[in-house]
Chain A
C-alpha cells in the first residue's frame, strides 16, 4: 500500500515536470512558427491581391509545410472577402487550382469544432458536388454550430431546403431557439414569401410561428397584411406579440383597428408591441388607445407607450401632457 502511494506520487510529479518542460519547448517552437506565419501573410496577401486585380500572373506559392498551408488558407479567405465580381471569381478559381477547396473540405470533417466551422463557412465560395457532399456530411454532426454552419453554407450555395424543410430541420435538431437559425429562416422568408405563407397554414410550434410572423412583417409585402392580422388572434401570446411587431415593421396602416384592440390584450408583451407599432406607423387616430397604457402595471409598456405618443407628433405630446400627473421615477 505504502509503495503504491509513493509510486503514485512519483509518477504524478514526473508527469507534471514533463508537462512543464514540454509546455516550454512547445512554446518556443510555436513562437518560431508564428514568426514564420506573420512574415508569410503580408507577402501572400500582396501577391493574391495583385493577381486578382490582373496586375500579375498566378504567383508561385509554396504549400508543402503546414504553416505555409495555414497561412495561405487564412490569407486567401480574408482577401477573397474583400472582393466582388470578376476579381473574386478569378481569385477563387486560382485558389481552387491551388487545392484550397480540398484542404477546406478535409478541415470541414475534422474533430476541432472551430476549424470545422471556419472551413464550412469558407466552402460556400467553392460550389460543386464535392462541396455539397461535404456540407451534407457535416450536417450529420451532433454539434449544433457545425450543423448550422453547414446548413447555412448550403443555403448560400442555393441548394438549401425550403422553409418547410428548414423548420422541420430546426425542430428535429433543437436549433429552433438559436438566433442564427432564426435569422436563416427569416432570410428565406424575405426572399420566398409564398413558402412562408404556405408554412403558416400548417401546424407549427408557437415560437416558430412567431418567427415566421415577425419575418413576414419585415418583407414589407401587402400579401403579409392579412396573415399578420389573423395572427393577432392566435392563442399564444408570443405569436400575437410577434404579429403586432410585424405589423409595425410592415409599414401599412391597414391594421390600425386590430392594433388598437391589441393594446387591450391580456399579455403585456402584446400591449407593448402594439404600442410600438402604433408609434412606428404614426397612427395618430389611435393615440387615445395609448393613453390608458401610460398607467399599465408593467413599466416597459408605460415606457413604450410614452415613446409611441411622442412619435405621433403634437397630438401625442398633448395626450401625454394631459395624462402626466406628479413626477414619479417610474411614470
Chain B
C-alpha cells in the first residue's frame, strides 16, 4: 500500500515536472520562432541602406550632435586602439568623452602619451551623483577628445559622470574595449532623425571581433573567430541581436539596449536620474526604467533597435571568463526584474510590462532553472524507469531540432539581409557552429545562468575579473 502510494506520488511528480519543463521549453521555442518571423519580415521589407554615401546625403544635415561616453577601467591593453577607432568615426558632429574610472593600471598613462592630453577647466552639469572627478583633459591632437579622470565608482558611476560632462543632446554609451564601425553612429541615429520628439533610445548590433583583422582601431577585414568558444558566441550574438532585439523592438517591448553600444537622449537620462549605480545590469535596468518612467506619466516614447550599425567587441575565449561573464549578465537581468517587478504582466505598462517583462520572466527567471531541470530530470526519470526511452529520445530530438532551426534561422537572416562575413568559408564555419552550439554549449550556458541565479540569491554584487588580450593589430 505504502509502496504503491510512493510510486504513484513519484510518478505524478515526475509527470508534473516533465510537463512544466516541456511546456516552458515549447513556449520559449515558440517565442524564438515568432522572433524569427518578425525579424525576417522586418529586414526583408526594410533592408538597411548599404551605401554610406547615400545615408550621409539623406541625413547628415539633420543629424544631431552626439557625445560618446566610454568608461574605462584597467583597459591599458585596448584603450589606445579603441579611442582611435572612436575618433575616426564618420559622423558630422561628435565628441568623445573617455571616463577613466580610477584605473589601477596604466590606462591614464597610455591615454596621456598617445593623445597628448592637456589639463583643462570645463564647466559641466552636476545633476547626477558620481564619485569625484580628479582632472579633465583635452587632447592636443584632436579637440574632439575629452578625458575625465575620476575616482573609481563602477561603470554606471562613470557613465553618470560622462552624462554630466556631455553637452550634446544625444549621448552614446560604449565600452572602451569595443570598436564602432565608421558609419555606426550615422546609422544608429536614424530613429532620432526620423522622430526626434518620441525616440529616447536606440541600440545597435554587437558582434564579435575575435578573428577580424584590426588596424588603427578599426576592423579592416571581417572574419570569424578561430577560437571555438568565440565562434559559438558569434552565433549566439546573431541570435540575440538580429532575432530577439529586432523583434522586441518591433513590438515595442525591447528591455535592453546593450551597454556596449546604445544611444540615448541626454535630457531624458538626466530626468530619470541617470544610470543606477548598484547593479551589474545597468544597461538593462536603464531601459526598463525608461519604459516605466514614460508609461507611468503617459508620455509618448519609443525605444528602437537598428540592426545594421555594428559595434565590435572582444569575446572571452576561455570557459572560465565566459562563465563569469554570463553569470554576471544573468545576475543583472534578475536584479532588474526584481527592481521593476511591479511592471511584470501589469497592463498599466503596456507591451513593456506584458511582453517585455514577460519574456524576462520566461527566459531569465524561469529559463535556466527549467532548462537545467529538463536536462537533469528527464534522463534521471528515464534511469528510474518513470520515463520510457522513446519519450526521452523524442524529447531530446525536438529540443535539439528547435535549437538548430532557430540558430540556422538567425544565420539565414544575417546572410540574406546583412552579409557581414565576406568569405564563403566564414559562412560555412558559422553554419557548422549554428548546429554544433546546440550540443553542449547551450546547456553549459544554462548552467552558467543558474550560477548567476545562485550568485544573485546570495547577494553577490561584484563584476569579477574580465581579462582581455587586446585586439591584435594586423
Contact = CB atoms under 8 A, between A and B. Distances in A.
A179 B127 contact: no
B194 A145 contact: yes
B374 to A, nearest CB: 15
Given A16-B401, A329-B133, A31 B424 contact: yes
Contact of A6 (B124, B198, B397): B397
A177 interface: yes
B143 interface: no
B61 A113 contact: no
A178 B59 CA distance: 11
Given A112-B47, A183-B61, A16 B408 contact: yes
Contact of A114 (B48, B124, B415): B48
A112 B62 CA distance: 24
B401 A13 contact: yes
Interface in B416-449: 419, 424, 427-428, 431, 434-435
Interface in A238-256: none
A303 interface: yes
Contacts of A15: 405
Contacts of B412: 19, 23
Interface in B380-394: 390-391, 394
Interface string A5-20: 1101110110110011
A57 interface: no
Interface in A27-45: 27-28, 30-31
B194 A144 contact: yes
Given A23-B415, A330-B125, A5 B398 contact: yes
B62 A180 contact: yes
Interface string B28-50: 00000000000000001111110
Contact of B415 (A10, A12, A27): A27
B125 A183 contact: no
A183 B58 CA distance: 11
Contacts of B394: 2, 5-6, 9
A92 to B, nearest CB: 18
Contact of A8 (B44, B49, B62, B401): B401
Contact of B47 (A13, A23, A114): A114
B175 to A, nearest CB: 26
Interface string A287-331: 000000000000110010010000000000000000000000111
B411 interface: yes
A2 B391 contact: yes
Nearest to A28: B424
A113 B401 CA distance: 33
Interface string B126-143: 110000010000000000
Interface of B is mostly: helix
B54 A118 contact: yes
A177 B125 contact: no
A24 interface: yes
Interface string A106-125: 00000111100010000000
A281 interface: no
A207 interface: yes
A52 to B, nearest CB: 20
A145 B408 CA distance: 31
Given A19-B409, A113-B47, A12 B133 contact: no
A24 B408 contact: no
Contacts of A145: 194
Contact of A20 (B45, B400, B408): B408
B398 A8 contact: yes
A113 B397 contact: no
Contact of A5 (B62, B397, B405): B397
Contact of B427 (A19, A23, A299, A331): A23
Interface of A is mostly: helix
B389 to A, nearest CB: 11
Interface in A65-114: 111-114
Contact of B401 (A9, A20, A207): A9
B398 A207 contact: no
A114 B397 contact: no
A2 B392 CA distance: 10
Contacts of B318: none
Interface string A262-281: 00000000000000000000
A330 B401 contact: no
A13 B406 CA distance: 11
Interface string A192-218: 000000000000000100000000000
Contact of A177 (B58, B196, B398, B428): B196
B323 interface: no
A112 B416 CA distance: 14
A19 B196 contact: no
A13 to B, nearest CB: 5
Nearest to A300: B125
Nearest to B195: A177
B339 interface: no
B404 interface: yes
A19 B408 contact: yes
Given A5-B394, A6-B397, A16-B435, A330 B126 contact: yes
A290 to B, nearest CB: 16
Contacts of A10: 397, 401
A330 B164 CA distance: 10
Interface in B174-193: 193
Contacts of B4: none
A82 to B, nearest CB: 12
Interface in A115-173: 118, 143-145
Q: Nearest 3 pairs between A and B by C-beta? A: A12-B401, A9-B397, A179-B62
28 contacts: A5-B394, A9-B394, A12-B401, A12-B402, A12-B404, A13-B401, A13-B404, A15-B405, A16-B404, A20-B408, A20-B434, A23-B415, A27-B415, A111-B45, A112-B47, A118-B49, A144-B194, A145-B194, A178-B193, A178-B194, A180-B193, A183-B62, A207-B197, A299-B125, A329-B123, A329-B126, A330-B123, A330-B126
Interface of B: 44-49, 54, 58-59, 61-62, 123-127, 133, 167, 193-198, 390-391, 394-395, 397-398, 400-402, 404-405, 408-409, 411-412, 415, 419, 424, 427-428, 431, 434-435
Interface of A: 2, 5-6, 8-10, 12-13, 15-16, 19-20, 23-24, 26-28, 30-31, 111-114, 118, 143-145, 177-180, 183, 207, 299-300, 303, 306, 329-331
